[in-house]
Structure formats: C-alpha cells, structure tokens
A and B are shown apart, each in its own frame.
Chain A
Amino acid sequence: MSQRGAEAGAEQAAASARRRVEAVWRIESARIVATLTRVTGDFGLAEDLAQEALLDALAQWPRDGVPANPGAWLTAVAKRRAIDLWRRRERLDARLAAIAHDLEEGQRRDPEAAPWDPDEIQDDVLRLVFIACHPVLSREAQVALTLRVVGGLTSEEIGRAFMIPTATVQQRIVRAKRTLAAAHVPVESPPREEHRERLASVLGVVYLIFNEGYAATSGPDWMRPELALEAVRLARVLASLVPGESEVHGLLALLELQSSRFAARVTREGEPVLLGDQDRRRWDRGAIARGRAALARADALGRGRGAFALQAGIAECHAVAASTASTDWEQIVVLYEALGRIAPSPVVELNRAVAVSMATGPASALRIVEELERDGSLAGTAMLPSVRGELLAQLGRREEAVDALAEAARRVGNERERDVLLGKVRALEEGAR
C-alpha cells in the first residue's frame, strides 16, 4: 500500500471510530449527565465532566477499541475527574469527601457494573429535562441544551442542524450553564404544583425543534427531516418519562402524524408539495398508526384535549382521509374553534379560515381573513397574503389574488416556498391571457 493509501486508511478508521463514539454518546449521554447531576448536585459541573469524558473517549477508543460497557466507562471517567477536581480545588469538605469515597468504592468493587440504578435513572433523566428547559433560559439556550444533554447530539451536530457555527452552539451552552448557576437553579425536579407549567415549557422546546426541521425557517432546504425525527424521538422519551400527562401523548401524536407526510411533502427535486397535492399513498402508515395510538392514549387519560392533542386531532382528520375532498373539514373547523378557545392565536384563526373555506366556501373564509387584517397581528407575515390570495383566486378575483400572492412571495424567507408562490402568480397571469 502506498504512503497516501495508508494515510487515507488510517483517516477512514479514525472517522469510523469517531462515528461509533458519537453513536454511543447519543445512547448514553442523558443517563450519564443525569446520574452525574444527582451525584454532584451541580448540573453545570456534570455537563463539563461528561464532555471531558467524551473527549477522552474520542482520543482513546479509536486507538484502544470501544470498551465492553461504554456507558460505564464514560461514567467512571467522569466520576474520577470529579474526584480529581475536588481534590485539586482543595474543596474536599465533609460532604464532597463522602461522595468521593462512595464513588471510589463503587468503582473499585465493580468497574464494569451498570453505572446507574434502573429505579433511579428515569427520575434523574426527567430532572435533567426540566433543568435543560428551565424558564430562566432563552428558548435558543433551551433548544441547544436539550439537544445536547437529552438528545445526545454533539455541538457540531446541533450546529449542522440549525446551520450555525459550532462555536455559536458552544457559546450558547456555556452561557446557559452560567445563567443556571447564577439563578441558583436547584437540581431537584420542580415542586408538584409547578409541574404542569414546567412540562409545558419542555413540550414547547420539543415542538420548536420539530418545527425547525419540518418547515425550515431559512436556507435552501424546505425541511430537515433528521432534526424533526430527533424531536419525535425526544417526544417518545418524554412519553415514557411522564406517561400520566395527556399533553405529552398529544405532542407525540401530533409529531408522528406530521412526520408521516415527509416522503410526500417534497418532490425528488426538493420542491415542496402542498397538502392538497400530495400523493397520500406515500404517507407513512406506520407513523400514522403510532400517532393515532398516542392520541388515543391522551384521550384515555380522560382530562380532555390540550392544544397539542387538538392539533393532533386535526392532523388525524387529514391522515385518515383519502383525498382533500373527502376530508372531514367540518370536524376540522370544530377542532380549530376549540383550539382557538384554549390557545387563541391569529395563526390558529388563519388556519380556521382555510378549514372554513373547505367546509363552506371561500366567501365566509375571506371574512375571517379580513378581520385578521384589521386586527393587524399578522402584519408583515407571508401567511396572511398567501391565504388571502388563495381565497381571492377561488372567488375569481384574479387581479387582487395576483397582488396578494406576489406580496406573500416578497415576504417569505424560504427559497423553495417563494418558488411555489411565484408559480401560482404565473398560473393566474397565464389564465388571464
């Protein structure tokens, strides 16, 4: 083999070992950070230690091979670093000395044993989720921290997913940890009475991650399915952590049902395909079945549907319909009305307008849109003129429709979406000739 060939081979081996370390990390990191947080009582420190253990793995495993129990290996390395750190800082007070002693004892007895207690670990992971989505953090920081410590993504992977530099992700995480420390956020789970509110914040973060993948807000791609699928996985993790909370199942149902359309939402050339034009035979029936099962679990808890479950109900109406025409639009209107009552928002109102146009025609829908325009809360967005243009086109008011759709195209940030709107404008103009 030539020198260059040998080098390329070594590089390939290193890359493959690195992918293996990343795969192990994805599986183990939440439990490692969660365990270290409980043991040390310090989330920021736990995250640092886990990251240092990951760096050790990246240096050693490609050379020495992956250990038999990689989770135990990483946890042991992180714990050893904790003990070293406390010794170095000469802060080994009675409490830390006791923890250090326990850690050393545990490692000496059985270094390859499962590094966490199966009865405790679910509580530990849930606590970790609450810390990562703590209300003192900005949404950006919550997203980065959740993907890193709960999802087990590396900063590089998060950067790729959001198309931001790795250094930016790292800065966000460092700042987030400082914010948590400055606010003296305790490592305990929130008190029972705050539970539901805090959980709502967690669900919001997962939903945001999904949406960033499902409808990319910027860049050349209409969607980034890997990011959306990571959000679906996180929702499944949450459903197993808090199975008694109906909105967790509602969120999971919504994400499974939305993701069932991935294959049909985009052409081979990357052009978006709108719901009405999608080849429904290409919807993922397994994802639809999982989504409907999750919605049934939410309903079975018997406390009525929350905002996510209502949206899942709307997605279910689409998922079970053979075509746009045979969709139960009246049921969708009812669900949007219910959603508007518990989570009023102009976006929900606009979606209700679209459903009304399908159930009873464009004229009554246009009245809702005009009401929204007077209200002004969606001013400057592409959504409002886009729907308005559609409705005007259906009513045969072609020139006004062209103006509205062109306006929407000027406002939209996603290139693929703009092409679709401009295509509609061209079609209307050609129809006029």
Chain B
Amino acid sequence: MKYMLIMRQPAEVELPADLDFTAIVNAMGAYNESLMEAGVLLAGEGLAPAEEGLVIDFEQTPPLVTDGPYGEVKELFNGFWIIQTATREEAVEWAKRCPLGPGMKLELRRVTETEEFDQENEYVQKEYGWREQLGTDKPVGA
C-alpha cells in the first residue's frame, strides 16, 4: 500500500528567529536516509515558502486569485513523502519518526488505486492513458 505523508504547519505558528536551519536539514536528511535504507520511500518533495504561493479561491465565479495562502487558510502545506508499506500501522510508525517539532502536523493518507473506481466510467478508462503519458503511477489529483 502507498501512503502520502503531508507536512502541515498551522498558519499562526511563527518560527523562532534563532532557528538552527542546519540542524533541521540534517535531521530531515537523516530521516529521509532511513526511509531510503528501509526501502519504503517512493517520492518526496519540499515546497517553497508559502509567501511565493498563490491561492485560487472558488467561492466566486470566476475564481479569485490572491497572493500567498492568507485569508481563510489555517494550515500551510510544506511538503510530502510517498511511502510504500505492507500495513497502515507500519506507515504510522514511519510517520511518527519524522523529526518535526511542536505545532507541526503530519497527515497520513492512503494513495488510492485506480482499480477502486467504477471501471466502466469513461474518464477512469482515460486516466490509464494519462498515467502512461505523464509517467506518473497515479492520476494527477487522486
């Protein structure tokens, strides 16, 4: 089974000014290395600071585009891992080993298999083709 670990940070959490960034990079690097060495890591990316981001809000038509994830956004999404484990409990154990501090959260979600959806649906059929085209093993957004 594949799981996505989503790193979340409440928007109001301010990082201390004297934050030892090298120590954080080292701790996260050691964690990633342990996932690699255990053969469970399939993918992972970190995201640039939220200030560079945009929010497209569908509350109105056409959707409103604003700078930065402000307004209603309560949690920032900072990065993700995709891991492959035999059981959900194993994925939880890996998630608990992530070197995150107080205030931070890690969300664990199972990655769905396309086989779980209605196989007769035209778009489910098309998704197989998209997967091939994009070189991803999962349809985008699933």
Residues of A within 8 A of B (CB): 19-20, 22-24, 26-27, 70, 118, 122, 226, 229-230, 232-237, 240-241, 263, 279-287, 289-290
Contact = CB atoms under 8 A, between A and B. Distances in A.
B87 A23 contact: yes
Given A23-B89, A24-B93, A70-B93, 18 more contacts: A19-B89, A20-B92, A20-B93, A22-B87, A23-B92, A26-B90, A118-B30, A229-B86, A232-B39, A233-B38, A235-B39, A236-B39, A236-B40, A240-B37, A282-B114, A282-B128, A289-B137, A290-B42
B81 interface: no
9 closest A-B pairs by beta carbon, nearest first, are A286-B137, A236-B39, A281-B128, A23-B89, A233-B39, A23-B90, A237-B39, A19-B89, A240-B37
Given A263-B113, A281-B131, A284-B137, A122 B86 contact: no
Nearest to A281: B128
Interface in B30-47: 30, 36-40, 42-43
B92 A285 contact: no
A286 B42 contact: yes
8 contacts: A20-B89, A20-B93, A23-B90, A240-B39, A263-B113, A281-B129, A285-B137, A286-B42
A23 B39 CA distance: 15
Nearest to B37: A240
A359 B132 CA distance: 25
Contact of B135 (A122, A240, A289): A289
Nearest to B128: A281
B136 interface: yes
B141 to A, nearest CB: 16
A285 B93 contact: no
B40, B114, B128, B135 pick with most chain A CB within 10 angstroms: B128
Contacts of A226: 86
Given A22-B89, A284-B137, A285-B132, A27 B38 contact: yes
Contacts of B42: 286, 290
Given A236-B39, A286-B42, A230 B131 contact: no
A319 to B, nearest CB: 11
B37 A122 contact: yes
Given A229-B86, A237-B37, A240-B39, A285 B115 contact: no
